[in-house]
């Protein structure tokens, strides 16, 4: 695809109560009225929480080694449509999803829970949510925005960090995002809530959890193979998962598969930033029951 028409960075505006950019709002009517299917699997995340990782695990679990060439020759962002995306130079997320003939459809979204098209709930589709601790999440988001021209200009680290703390990052406040899905899980049983930190700690265990949630009887040896194929280094080398085929990203600034660690925030936060962050965090999360680990 030719992305050269996207030459300037988008600006942030308020949309449906959250901060957004045009690439995720221009197809809104179609997003809102999207027709889910009962066997769809929605992969929902705050940006940079491990979306690609879980997308690839699910892709391998469902389509695996025996997938036809026309499937395996597609990069992960074509195999797993990004629901609200509308970049004009490639098919929109809804268009890609509508035209999918493989099942189940794996569909990715960063929308907060209150903006998920209602059809998913009506169809009782399964939802896999991945959450990542706020500190590593914001660091990863910063580097992503630095290298990706379809994202707003991040400014310097301190500016970016404060925008995040103010809840003005694209896709809205991290705090509400992780809490919203956590609350939803209390009443909607077809939602699995995963943590990035757990995936790093023991990928195989989380693959097992996914299999039981999805009712898959994948053999032990296939699970082991998948667990190996989705390790950071393997996915970084794999051009189907490392985003090297997407020209809007400049890996000389920062690669998509950047570090894949828990605790990299320690290399970014100053002592003062950390204290301020903790204070804001305590306030925003004072009623939250979901707990995160910032190191493992
Ligand atoms: P870092 O920037 O901290 O390295 P998303 O897919 O939601 O955009 O998230 C991207 C983040 O997940 C990046 O974090 C990326 O390196 C990390 N990631 C992707 N695949 C991974 C894997 N197999 N193991 C660990 N981290 C992974």
* Alpha-carbon torsion angle 263, 108, 19, 290, nearest 10: -50
Instruction: For residue 264, report the distance from its CA to the centre of ligand 1, in Å.
Output: 12
Catalytic residue set? 110
Q: Please, which residues bridge with residue 110 across strands?
A: none
Tell me whether strands 18-20 and 13-15 are parallel, antiparallel or unpaired.
antiparallel
Backbone angles phi, psi at 193, to 5 degrees: -110, 110
Q: Would you say residue 276 has pLDDT above 80?
A: yes
Report residue 65's pLDDT band, with 50, 70 and 90 as the boundaries. Answer: low
Q: Which residues of 158-180 are buried (b: 16+ CB within 10 A; e: fewer)?
A: eebbebbbebebbbbbbbbbbbb
Predicted local distance difference test score (pLDDT) of residue 126: 98
Q: Is 196 helix (H, G, I), strand (E, B) or coil?
A: helix
Whole-number Å distance, alpha carbon 48 to ligand 1 midpoint, is: 7
Give the residue whose CA is nearest to atom 12 of ligand 1. 50
Inform me whether the pLDDT recorded for 88 exceeds 70. yes
Per-residue pLDDT tens digits for 89-114: 889 999 999 999 999 999 999 999 99
pLDDT per position as a tens digit, 16-49: 999 999 999 999 999 999 999 999 999 999 999 9
Share of the chain above pLDDT 90, in %: 92
The question of ipTM being above 0.95 is answered as yes
State the average pLDDT over residues 118-128. 98
Name the residue at shortest CA distance from atom 10 of ligand 1.
48
Pocket lining for ligand 1, CB < 6 angstroms: 45, 47-53, 136, 140, 143, 200, 230-232, 235, 257-260, 264
| pLDDT band at residue 8 under the 50/70/90 scheme | confident
- Compute φ and ψ for 56, nearest 5 degrees: -70, -40
Q: Looking at residue 1, what is its pLDDT?
A: 67
**Mean pLDDT to the nearest integer, 228-246:** 96
């Amino acid at each position: 695809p030719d992305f050269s028409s996207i030459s300037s960075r988008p600006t942030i505006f308020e949309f449906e109560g959250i901060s957004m950019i045009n690439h995720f709002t221009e197809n809104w009517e179609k997003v809102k009225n999207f027709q889910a299917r009962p066997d769809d699997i929605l992969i929902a995340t705050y940006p940079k929480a491990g979306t690609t990782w879980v997308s690839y695990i699910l892709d391998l679990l469902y389509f695996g080694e025996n997938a036809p060439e026309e499937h395996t020759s597609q990069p992960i962002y074509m195999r797993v449509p990004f629901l609200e995306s509308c970049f004009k130079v490639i098919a929109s997320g809804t268009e890609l999803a509508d035209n999918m003939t493989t099942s189940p459809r794996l569909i990715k979204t960063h929308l907060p829970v209150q903006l998920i098209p209602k059809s998913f709930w009506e169809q009782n589709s399964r939802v896999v949510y991945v959450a990542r601790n706020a500190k590593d999440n914001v660091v990863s988001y910063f580097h992503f925005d630095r290298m990706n021209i379809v994202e707003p200009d991040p400014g310097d680290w301190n500016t970016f960090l404060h925008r995040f703390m103010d809840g003005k990052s694209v896709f809205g406040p991290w705090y509400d995002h992780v809490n919203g899905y956590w609350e939803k899980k209390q009443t909607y049983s077809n939602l699995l809530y995963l943590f990035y930190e757990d995936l790093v700690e023991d990928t195989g265990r989380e693959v097992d959890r996914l299999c039981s949630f999805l009712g898959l009887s994948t053999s032990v040896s296939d699970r082991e193979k998948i667990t190996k194929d989705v390790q950071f280094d393997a996915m970084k080398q794999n051009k189907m998962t490392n985003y090297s085929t997407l020209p809007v990203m400049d890996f000389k600034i920062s690669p998509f598969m950047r570090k894949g660690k828990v605790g990299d925030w320690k290399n970014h936060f100053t002592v003062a930033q950390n204290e301020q962050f903790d204070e804001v965090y305590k306030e925003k999360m004072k009623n939250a029951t979901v707990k995160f680990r910032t190191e493992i």
